[in-house]
């Protein structure tokens, strides 16, 4: 009887939580001060400390067990011809209530914090194609320079020599450097791991993810190594509490190009160029084509290799997964869904303009 009451109470609590999350999401300054720069700092540090030292992913194992339990629940429900359906659904709702609470308490409230531009004192505004082109040319100049430093020949494709673990460790140097300019980007207690589900991630089109329940950053160890440094820095940005994808992209870019390791710098400019040229292509395809011609041939080969990599994992299920993630982002105040990744361009332009001043 007591168990049934707990299940009912937790189920009711889920509805209360949903209402509360919708309410508190309208107060970003409160969340910024008391959650993102308050309680979250202690929660995230605690999670990284207790799980970071473990050489394999606890978060991946948790998701695997969760998936198994869900499938078993559905199987038993069908097998028993939906007997005791209401009690079973209440149990599922109660469990969902616990997960929902942990998700937002451990990390999810960061979706509703104040914009990163305000945090870093960057002036964001609608930008012109001319401004976009100017920033693109600056990125291309730096991109070509670091590529030539590594390849010694503008026609050669970069081969990243580092292991996954080495890249995870080296990423800390970039954050150490950038924190001198932006103390709020200080990163401590590392917990970055290669995902045990990298093959699955490849099939659903993801390069990495943060498990909010364990605080671990997971990197798909199958992706091209030239992308791994920035992907690592991106997931570490999520650990710092920057939940919005465009903001994690920007922080990842800063950490990568601030790293003294040229492979990280290359990866940072690679990511920035990818988003900027994509935005230019939408506005002026001919201009985008002209800018591509100014890129070193070795870089073009790198992008082509990346395209080939993702193409081999294309499957009918991937679009549905992306639609689901798109809905998830929209539910958490990212109105553009998966397109929000592209809004890093706005931050890049604000950053380069500030540096010019």
What pLDDT is stored for residue 337 in this prediction?
47
- H/E stretch holding 188 reads none
Residues 148, 92 within the same domain: no
What pLDDT is stored for residue 335 in this prediction?
59
Please provide the average confidence, as pLDDT, over all residues in the chain: 90
Lowest model confidence (mean pLDDT) among 12-26, 269-283, 342-356: 342-356
Residues 207, 88 within the same domain: no
What pLDDT is stored for residue 312 in this prediction?
94
Residues 42, 125 within the same domain: no
Strand order, beta sheet including 192-194? 192-194, 216-219, 208-211
Residues 165, 306 within the same domain: yes
Range of the domain at 140: 116-356
Residue 260's nearest CA partner among 162, 172, 159 is: 172
Cα 263-264-265 angle, rounded to 5 deg: 90
Residues 157, 263 within the same domain: yes
What pLDDT is stored for residue 76 in this prediction?
82
Distance, in Å, from the CA atom of 28 to the CA atom of 5, rounded to the nearest integer, reads 35
CA atoms 203, 206, 207, 213: torsion sign: negative
Residues 140-169: pLDDT tens digits? Answer: 999 999 999 999 999 999 999 999 999 999
CA atoms 176, 142, 208, 93: torsion sign: positive
- Buried/exposed code over 97-128 (b: 16+ C-beta within 10 A; e: otherwise): beebeeebbbbbbbbbbeebbebbebebeebe
Residues 73, 86 within the same domain: yes
Residues 87, 123 within the same domain: no
Structure tokens that stand for 237 in this block? 């940005």
Domain finish residue from 56, 82, 112 = 112
Distance, in Å, from the CA atom of 32 to the CA atom of 133, rounded to the nearest integer, reads 34
Q: How many CB atoms lie within 10 A of CB 46?
A: 13
Banded pLDDT at 6 (limits 50, 70, 90): confident
Q: What are phi and psi of 54, to 5 degrees?
A: -75, 125
Domain finish residue from 57, 92, 112 = 112
How many domains are there within the chain? 2
Q: How many CB atoms lie within 10 A of CB 144?
A: 18
Residues 189, 140 within the same domain: yes
Domain finish residue from 80, 112, 144 = 112
Give the mean model confidence (pLDDT) for residues 21-25: 94
Residues 210, 326 within the same domain: yes
Distance, in Å, from the CA atom of 20 to the CA atom of 119, rounded to the nearest integer, reads 25
Residues 230, 198 within the same domain: yes
Distance, in Å, from the CA atom of 60 to the CA atom of 301, rounded to the nearest integer, reads 33
The single residue listed with the structure tokens 């509360």 is 20
Residues 205-253: pLDDT tens digits? Answer: 899 999 999 999 999 999 999 999 999 999 999 999 999 999 999 999 9
How do strand 192-194 and strand 208-211 relate by DSSP bridges? unpaired
Q: How many CB atoms lie within 10 A of CB 220?
A: 23
Lowest model confidence (mean pLDDT) among 113-122, 146-155, 279-288: 113-122
Residues 166-207: pLDDT tens digits? Answer: 999 999 999 999 999 999 999 999 999 999 999 999 998 899
- This prediction's pTM: 0.93
Residues 146, 224 within the same domain: yes
Residues 82, 124 within the same domain: no
Residues 68-113: pLDDT tens digits? Answer: 988 888 888 888 777 877 888 888 899 999 999 999 999 999 999 9
Distance, in Å, from the CA atom of 210 to the CA atom of 118, rounded to the nearest integer, reads 24
The single residue listed with the structure tokens 């994509």 is 278
């Amino acid at each position: 009887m007591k168990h049934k009451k707990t299940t009912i109470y937790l189920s009711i609590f889920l509805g209360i939580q949903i209402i509360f999350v919708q309410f508190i999401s309208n107060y970003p300054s409160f969340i910024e001060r008391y959650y993102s720069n308050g309680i979250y700092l202690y929660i995230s540090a605690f999670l990284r400390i207790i799980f970071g030292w473990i050489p394999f992913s606890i978060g991946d194992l948790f998701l695997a067990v969760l998936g198994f339990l869900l499938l078993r629940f559905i199987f038993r429900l069908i097998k028993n011809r939906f007997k005791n359906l209401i009690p079973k659904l209440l149990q599922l709702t109660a469990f969902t209530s616990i997960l929902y609470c942990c998700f937002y308490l451990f990390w999810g409230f960061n979706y509703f914090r104040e914009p990163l531009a305000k945090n870093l004192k960057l002036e964001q505004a609608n930008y012109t194609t001319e401004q976009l082109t100017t920033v693109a040319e600056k990125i291309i100049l730096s991109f070509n320079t670091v590529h030539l430093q590594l390849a010694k020949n503008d026609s050669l494709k970069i081969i990243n020599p580092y292991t996954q673990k080495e890249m995870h460790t080296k990423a800390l140097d970039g954050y150490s450097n950038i924190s001198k300019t932006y103390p709020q980007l200080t990163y401590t207690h590392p917990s970055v791991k290669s995902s045990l589900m990298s093959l699955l991630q490849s099939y659903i089109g993801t390069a990495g993810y943060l498990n909010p329940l364990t605080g671990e950053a997971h990197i798909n160890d199958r992706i091209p190594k030239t992308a791994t440094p920035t992907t690592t820095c991106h997931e570490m940005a999520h650990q710092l509490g920057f939940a919005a994808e465009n903001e994690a992209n920007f922080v990842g870019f800063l950490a990568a190009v601030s790293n003294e390791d040229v492979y990280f710098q290359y990866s940072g400019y690679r990511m920035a160029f990818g988003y900027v040229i994509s935005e230019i292509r939408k506005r002026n395809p001919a201009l985008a084509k002209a800018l591509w011609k100014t890129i070193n041939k070795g870089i073009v080969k790198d992008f082509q290799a990346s395209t080939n990599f993702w193409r081999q994992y294309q499957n009918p299920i991937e679009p549905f997964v992306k639609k689901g993630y798109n809905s998830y982002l929209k539910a958490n105040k990212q109105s553009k869904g998966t397109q929000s990744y592209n809004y890093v361009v706005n931050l890049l332009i604000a950053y380069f303009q500030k540096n010019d001043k």
